[in-house]
C-alpha cells in the first residue's frame, strides 16, 4: 500500500528547515568585504577587486576582455550596443526568457523579434530563426536559459549567411559550455548577471565579455557616461564621446563576486551531480521527467525543471492540471516548487501594448512596419510553461540526502496520484 500523503495527514517527507538558501557564504566572503572597507577604495574601473574579477573572468571564459557591471541587464545592454546594433534595428531572441533579455534590446531603441523554443532544451529553436530575418535584422540573441547552452552551430551558420551579430544572454549560464568552449568566450559579445540567485552570485551585478577590441572600447565607454575614465590618480578629461550610462558596480559587490567565483566550478559540479541524480531517478517514476542534456554542451543547472506527463500515469487531464495538483501535494511533503514565467515574453503587456519609451518608440522608428506581438504565436513556449515546474533547493549547500528525500517525495505523490487529483478536485 502506498504511504499516506502529508496532505492526507501522513508524515511529511522533507523535514522542516532542511532546505538551505543560495548562495552559500562564509568567513571568506565577509573578510573580502571587510578588506574593501580597509582599502578605502569603494568603486571605479581601476579598483582592485574590479580589475582582478575582470582578469579572472576573461581567463575563465577564454576571451580577451571582461567588464564588471552593476547588473546583468546593463551587461546585456552593453553587449547589444557594442555589437553594433542601432536604433530601429531588429534583434531576434527567444520567446522564453526573463524579459530583461528583450529589455536590453529595447534599451538601445532596437526592436525585439521573438522566436519559439526547442521544446526539449527550452532554448531558441534555430530552425525557426530564418523566417524572422528581415533587412532590418542586426543580431541574434540566444539565451542560455537555466544554464542550458543554446545550439550555437546552426545559429552561427544563419548569422554568417545573413551577416548578423550573435549576442549571448548568459545571465543564467556561468560555466556552461558549448562544444567544449565556455559561454562568454564565444563571439561576439555576452552579458552575465550575478544577481542573488545566479550560479555566480554577488547579490547584484553583471559581467560583459568579448574578444573584440572595438566592442570592448564601446562597452567600456558605455559603462561610464560615454567617457574614457583613466585609472584612479590620473586626470580625467571629462569629455563624453557618446551616450553612456553609469553601469559601474560597487567594490563590495566585486569583492563578493571574486570570493564566490573561487567556488563556482565546485558549486556547478554539485548542481550537475544533483541534476543527474534527480533525472536518473525520475526515469523510474512515471509522470515526471527531468531535463535532457544536449549533445552539444554541458548545462550548469541554474534551476532544475520538472516536466509533468499525465498520460504516463493514466490521467485524462492537462499537464497543467496534473502539475497544479502535484505541486500542492509536494509542498505538503516539504518539497517546494515554483512557477518561473507565466507567458512568452511577447505576451507581456509591454509588448502587447507596445509600451516602450512612449510615442511608440522604438517601434515607431520603422513607420512602414506593422509590429504585432501575441503570446499565442509561441505554442512551444506556452506548452513548456504549462507542463513544467521548478524544484527549489537543487544547489549546494544542500546535499544528496535532500535530493534522495526529493525523489522519495515525488515517488510518494505519484504512487498516490489518484488521491492527489481527487484532493485537488475537492479544493
Ligand atoms: C535570462 C536573464 N536575462 C537577463 C537578466 C537580467 O539580469 P539582472 O537581474 O542582473 O539585471 C536575468 C536575471 O535576472 C536573466 O535571468
Domains and CATH numbers, the chain: 27-263 (3.40.640.10)
Running DSSP on this structure, what letter comes out for residue 253? H
Give phi and psi for 195, each to the nearest 5.
Answer: -70, 175
The pick from 68, 94, 100 for probing ligand 1's pocket by mutation, whose C-beta has the most ligand atoms within 8 angstroms, reads 100
Each residue of 119-160: pLDDT tens digit? 999 999 999 999 999 999 999 999 999 999 999 999 999 999
Q: At what angle do helices 417-426 and 400-415 cross, to 10 degrees?
A: 70
Q: What are phi and psi of 388, to 5 degrees?
A: -115, 150
The DSSP bridge partners found for residue 210 are: 65, 189
Distance 73 CA to ligand 1 centre (A): 6
Mutate to test the pocket of ligand 1, among 193, 245, 300 (most ligand atoms within 8 A of CB): 193
Q: Which three cell numbers stand for residue 63?
A: 576571451
Residue nearest to atom 8 of ligand 1 (CA): 72
The single residue listed with the C-alpha cell 528583450 is 102
Atom of ligand 1 nearest to the CA of 74: 11
User: Is residue 82 lining ligand 1, measured as CB closer than 6 Å?
Assistant: no
Residues 139-170: b if buried by 16+ CB within 10 A, e if exposed: bbbbbbbbbbbbbbeebbebbeeeebbbbbbb
Q: From the CB of 190, is ligand 1 less than 6 Å away?
A: no
Whether residue 25 has pLDDT greater than 70: yes
List the Cα angle 330/332/335 in 5-degree steps: 45
Q: State pLDDT tens for residues 321-335.
A: 999 999 999 999 999
CA–CA distance from 283 to each of 304, 312, 315, 404, 411 (Å)? 15, 12, 18, 14, 11
Ligand 1 near 195 CB (within 6 A): yes
Residue of 98, 123, 145, 173 best suited for mutating to test ligand 1, as the one with most atoms within 8 Å of CB: 98
pLDDT value at residue 2: 75
Is the shortest distance between the CB of 303 and ligand 1 below 6 Å? no
> Residue 53: CB within 6 Å of ligand 1?
no
List CB contacts of 160: < 8 A, sequence separation 6 or more. none
Please state the φ and ψ torsions of residue 117, each to the nearest 5 degrees.
-105, 160
Question: For the chain, what is the mean pLDDT?
Answer: 97
Is the pLDDT at 1 greater than 70? The verdict is no
* d(C-alpha 279, C-alpha 259), whole Å: 30
Taking the C-alpha atoms of residue 169 and residue 98, their distance in angstroms, rounded to an integer, is 10
Mean pLDDT across the stretch 82-109?
98
Which residue is closest in CA terms to ligand 1's atom 10? 72
pLDDT value at 17 more than 90: yes
Query: pLDDT, tens digit, for every residue of 191-210?
Result: 999 999 999 999 999 999 99
The pLDDT assigned to 232 comes to 86
Cβ distance 250 to 36 under 8 Å? no
User: What is the value of pTM for the model shown?
Assistant: 0.98
**What is the mean pLDDT of the segment spanning 316-320?**
98
pLDDT at 86: 98
**71 CA → ligand 1 middle, Å:** 8
Cα 20 to ligand 1 centre (Å) = 23
Report yes or no: 100 and 331 within 8 Å, Cβ to Cβ: no
Amino acid at each position: 500500500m502506498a504511504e499516506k500523503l502529508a496532505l492526507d495527514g501522513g508524515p511529511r517527507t522533507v523535514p522542516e528547515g532542511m532546505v538551505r538558501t543560495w548562495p552559500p557564504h562564509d568567513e571568506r566572503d565577509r573578510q573580502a568585504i571587510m578588506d574593501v572597507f580597509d582599502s578605502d577604495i569603494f568603486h571605479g574601473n581601476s579598483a582592485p577587486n574590479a580589475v582582478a574579477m575582470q582578469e579572472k573572468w576573461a581567463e575563465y571564459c577564454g576571451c580577451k576582455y571582461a567588464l564588471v557591471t552593476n547588473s546583468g541587464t546593463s551587461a546585456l545592454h552593453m553587449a547589444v550596443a557594442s555589437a553594433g546594433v542601432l536604433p530601429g534595428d531588429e534583434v531576434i531572441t527567444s520567446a522564453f526568457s526573463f524579459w530583461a533579455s528583450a529589455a536590453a534590446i529595447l534599451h538601445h531603441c532596437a526592436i525585439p523579434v521573438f522566436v519559439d523554443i526547442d521544446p526539449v532544451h527550452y532554448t531558441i529553436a534555430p530552425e525557426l530563426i530564418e523566417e524572422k530575418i528581415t533587412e532590418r535584422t542586426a543580431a541574434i540573441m540566444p539565451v542560455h536559459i537555466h544554464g542550458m547552452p543554446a545550439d550555437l552551430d546552426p545559429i552561427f551558420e544563419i548569422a554568417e549567411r545573413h551577416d548578423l551579430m550573435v549576442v549571448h544572454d548568459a545571465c543564467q549560464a556561468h560555466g556552461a559550455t558549448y562544444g567544449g568552449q565556455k559561454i562568454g568566450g564565444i563571439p561576439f559579445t555576452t552579458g552575465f548577471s550575478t544577481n542573488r540567485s545566479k550560479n555566480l552570485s554577488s547579490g547584484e551585478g553583471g559581467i560583459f565579455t568579448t574578444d573584440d577590441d572595438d566592442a570592448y572600447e564601446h562597452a567600456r565607454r558605455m559603462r561610464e557616461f560615454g567617457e574614457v575614465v583613466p585609472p584612479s590618480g590620473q586626470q580625467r578629461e571629462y569629455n563624453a564621446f557618446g551616450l553612456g550610462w553609469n553601469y559601474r558596480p560597487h567594490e563590495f559587490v566585486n569583492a563578493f563576486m571574486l570570493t564566490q567565483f573561487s567556488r563556482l566550478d565546485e558549486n556547478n559540479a554539485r548542481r550537475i551531480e544533483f541534476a543527474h541524480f534527480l533525472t536518473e531517478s525520475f526515469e523510474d517514476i512515471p509522470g515526471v521527467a527531468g531535463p535532457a542534456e544536449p549533445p552539444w554542451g554541458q548545462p550548469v543547472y541554474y534551476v532544475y525543471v520538472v516536466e509533468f506527463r499525465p498520460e504516463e500515469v493514466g490521467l485524462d487531464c492537462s499537464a497543467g492540471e496534473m502539475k497544479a495538483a502535484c505541486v500542492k501535494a509536494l509542498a505538503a511533503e516539504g518539497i517546494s516548487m515554483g512557477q518561473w514565467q507565466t507567458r512568452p515574453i511577447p505576451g507581456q503587456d509591454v509588448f502587447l501594448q507596445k509600451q516602450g519609451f512612449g510615442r511608440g518608440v522604438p517601434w515607431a522608428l520603422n513607420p512602414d512596419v506593422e509590429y504585432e506581438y501575441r503570446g499565442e504565436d509561441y505554442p512551444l513556449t506556452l506548452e513548456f510553461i504549462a507542463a513544467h515546474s521548478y524544484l527549489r533547493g537543487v544547489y549546494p549547500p544542500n546535499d544528496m540526502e535532500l535530493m534522495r528525500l526529493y525523489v522519495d517525495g515525488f515517488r510518494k505523490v505519484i504512487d498516490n496520484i489518484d488521491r492527489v487529483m481527487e484532493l485537488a478536485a475537492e479544493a
